[in-house]
Amino acid sequence: MERMKEEKERFLAYIDQLNTGSKHTHQAYERDIDDFMTFLQQEGIDSFDDVDRIVVMNYIADLRMRMGQMGQLKNTSIARKLSSLRSLYRYLNEYIGMKENPFLYVKSPKISRRIPEFLFYDEMETFLSGFDLNDPVGLRNRAMFEIMYACGLRVSEVVALQIEDIDFNDSILHITGKGDKQRIVPFYDLAKELLIRYLNEVRIQWMGSEKHRIVFINQRGKGLTSRGVQYLMQRQADALAMPIHIHPHMFRHSFATHLLDNGADLRLVQELLGHSSLSTTQIYVHVSQNRLKQVYQQAHPRAKHHQ
């Protein structure tokens, strides 16, 4: 078991180098490998070398019988664990000289791609126009949610936004996204007006003796948290009696869906979202097609007549 722990630590150090020290990636791999090692211990196996295809199949069967907080483990969780272990064994093959990879030909369970949740344009309009712009908190919230929708920001990106990331001359944001990837996204005039108003009327008052450059702050001059933004978003939806659970990623989904609905090129939307793979962006095309079919069924007289 000591040797397994040592090999695990070497693999995690290797992963840290690949991902430039991403804490979340490190923790995810460590959780998955620790889980597998616990299973091996229960099976009386104390070396990664002694794992064969039968052991792997038994492990998958064990995962399928497990219950998580939300019931049985989902295919996505099982697939992630298998992917982590496949990577571990690739490393052991390449750098430690282990000959076998028992995970090599094990298929991950099929994952059905979830259609992203988004707001229709009139719902977005209702949400954004519901803030009192004469109230400092209302003005901050409206400016923040407007820029999230204007630029398709992740909640982590909006809370990390700095004053120097905003180019008011050209109306563009410089965003540092996942994996420190940089992208630029334009914003429209209304978002610009609201941002300028918020910075000049509200932020300057709330900063007090604080010296940081974070754009969106609370009344004590501290930066907002992702959880805080989520709370403010749902509170607004509840105040407007909107019959849906709203979360920050819905604004990013809405941004992409509305652009595609209005004729934007898929590769342009990929660039604006900062997706490294076009296939990640393509899921929004399915949303648009579904909308298209829905509108067609409701609007075409022959389609309505024969429903």
Q: Which regions of the chain does DSSP assign to beta strands (E)? A: 67-68, 71-72, 166-167, 172-176, 182-186
- Cα 55 to chain centroid, rounded: 33
Phi, psi of 127 (to 5 degrees): -60, -50
Query: What residues are paired with 175 via a beta bridge?
Result: 183
Distance CA 130, CA 142 (A): 9
What does DSSP say about strands 182-186 and 172-176: parallel, antiparallel, or unpaired? antiparallel
Query: Is the CB of residue 111 less than 8 Å from the CB of residue 76?
Result: yes
Give every strand in the sheet of 182-186, ordered side by side.
166-167, 172-176, 182-186
From the list 215, 235, 219, the residue with the least C-alpha distance to 158 is 215
- Cα 26 to chain centroid, rounded: 17
Q: Quick one: 272 exposed, middle or buried, by C-beta within 10 A (0-12, 13-18, 19+)? A: buried
Q: Which residues are catalytic?
A: 154, 178, 249, 252, 275, 284
92 DSSP 8-state letter: I
Q: Which residue has the tokens 């940089």?
A: 182
In this structure, how many other beta carbons lie within 10 angstroms of the beta carbon of residue 137? 14
